[in-house]
Amino acid sequence: MNLDSLTNEEQKILELVRTVMDPEVAVNVVDLGLIYEVHYQEERKRIHVVTTLSTRGCPLGDTIMRNIEVVIEDQYPGMDVDVELVWEPEWNPDMITEAGRAAIDG
Amino acid sequence: MIIVAVILFGINTLMSAAKTDRKNIENVFIITAVFWLLLTVILGIIMALNFAFYFISGSHLQLLKMHVHIGFVGWFLLLVIGVASKLMPMFLIVHKLPRKLLKYAYYLINAGLILLSVGYYYFPEIWFLALSGSLVIAGVILFLRFNYVAFNKRIRKKLDVGMKLSATAFILLAISLFLGTLSVLSPKFLGAYQTRIEIAYGVLIVFGFLTALVLGQTYKTLPFIIWLKKYQSKVGKIKVPLPMELYSDKLANYHYYTFVSGIIMLMIGILASEVIAIQISSGLLILTAALYNYNVFKIILHKEKK
């Protein structure tokens, strides 16, 4: 996971991804701890986001991933946006941020 | 034709299960439930034919009890446990649950159901049926314990109306089990209440447990199905509503209270043999149905935002 050492551009991308909500809990995917890595590779014209889901077989998984892709593509036309789904490390509730916990019980 | 339909359904389910790379206990519950469904249908048809041709001697009532329990416990309950064990932790946002409880529940319920089915026809002695039934009950208690742990460990403390109704369904299931145990054991002190408790047991399972579960899970599934259909291709491009905004949460909460009050009045009415209580409960349950239907149609007829 590289979220603690993001470049300015990667931080901007993360903020874009923060607008993507999990429709079931109405909390954004960053605060839910679903985003593991964000890579901005200018020379390769590629943005790579590594993400997971809170549970396998989540029926909203495809929609969430597509949503991440769309919000980035919208702001970075001409870049190749690759949203990769991984299951390791396995997501657990400890990955939810304080803001995410507050929003869940909002 | 019914048997062929069920067999086709079973094949479809097995083929879906074979595609998954994760063989977990939830899937095993669902696959086993399909086998019990097939048995339920076959037994039902045999019973119907027996009315016309009378080729099975013995009590038809015992066969009917076998049929009802295989259908309810084997098909419906196993299916509910399989689906709920997956969905409840997902909706409550909780991990690392004691899944061994589910395995023990699986073995206990199936062993109990096999013994109960055989016992109803070949060995309808109270002690044998009570022993078989207690295995099923022990299994269901373990499943309820699994849900209780999930409920206590949940991150999402505030329950939405779908989860409130689902949690209520499991509480009603626990009460049904208690009434069912009394029905089977039929202790002498029950006296005239024996029949009323038997009626309350059946009514609470259908109008209480099953209804609460259907009402609750409607709100956890239908809005998402419609939302995906209407907005899947639009997320990120336009501001889309959340699935929970497709229905009136206020009305759903109203019918949660009318439903719970209706069930309490119904139980009072049956156990105390009070017609007025049953009439009040009918009114409350009709109101529940009306509000629920309003919300269901509001979801189904939702007009997407352009």
pLDDT of residue B52: 82
pLDDT, tens only, B136-152: 999 999 999 999 999 89
Instruction: Confirm if B243 and B223 have CB atoms less than 8 A apart.
Output: yes
pLDDT score at B5: 87
Contacts of B237 (CB under 8 A, 6+ apart): A70, A74
Pick the closest to residue B305 from B242, B252, B225 (CA basis).
Answer: B242
Stretch among A89-103, B17-31, B92-106 having the lowest mean pLDDT: B17-31
Q: Write down the pTM of the prediction.
A: 0.82
Instruction: Tell me which residues of chain B, numbers 164 to 223, contact chain A at a CB-CB cutoff of 8 Å.
Output: none
As a whole number, mean pLDDT of residues B253-275 equals 96
pLDDT at B59: 73
Q: Does B240 score more than 90 pLDDT? A: no
A58 shares contact with chain B (CB less than 8 Å): yes
Structure confidence by residue, pLDDT tens digits, B163-198: 999 999 999 999 998 998 888 777 888 888 889 999
Say if residue B120's pLDDT is above 80.
no
- pLDDT for A106 equals 67
The span from the CA of B132 to the CA of B209, in Å, is 22
Read off the pLDDT of residues B201-211 as tens digits, 9 standing for 90 and up: 989 999 999 99
Per-residue pLDDT, A86:
94
Task: Give the tens place of pLDDT for each residue, B41-82.
Answer: 988 888 888 888 877 777 777 788 888 888 989 999 999 999
Contacts of B94 in chain A (CB under 8 A): 93
Q: Do A55 and B156 touch (CB under 8 A)?
A: no
Mean pLDDT of chain B: 89
Return the residue of B nearest to A22 by Cα: B242
Residue reference for tokens 């009315």: B51
Say which of A24, A70, A101 has its CB closest to residue B237.
A70
Q: Report how far apart, in Å, the C-alpha atoms of B128 and of each of B51, B195, B236 are.
A: 28, 21, 61
Mean predicted confidence (pLDDT) in B71-97:
89
Per mean pLDDT, which range of A47-61, B180-194, B248-262, B266-280 is the poorest? B180-194
- Under 8 Å between Cβ of A105 and B158: yes
Instruction: Identify the segments of chain A with pLDDT beneath 70.
Output: 1, 106
**In this predicted complex, what is the ipTM?**
0.77
Provide the shortest C-alpha distance from residue B95 to chain A (in Å): 6
Q: For residues B246-264, give the mean pLDDT.
A: 97
Contacts of B90 in chain A (CB under 8 A): 54-55, 58
pLDDT for res B281 = 97
A-B Cβ pairs (cutoff 8 Å, strict): 61
Enter the tokens of residue A35: 């985003």
Instruction: Answer with the residue of higher pLDDT: B232 or A97.
Output: A97
The mean-pLDDT minimum among A74-78, B278-282, B289-293 falls in A74-78
* Shortest alpha-carbon distance between residue B262 and chain A (Å): 29
Of A2-16, B79-93, B251-265, which has the strongest mean pLDDT?
Answer: B251-265
Residue A69: its chain B contacts at CB < 8 A? 236
* Dist CA B150 CA A59 (whole Å): 21
The pLDDT value recorded for residue A1 is 66
Q: What is the mean pLDDT of residues B221-248?
A: 87
If one counts every other C-beta atom within 10 angstroms of the C-beta of residue B277, the result is 18
Asked if B96's CB is within 8 angstroms of A92's CB, the reply is yes
Q: Is B96 on the interface with A (CB under 8 A)?
A: yes
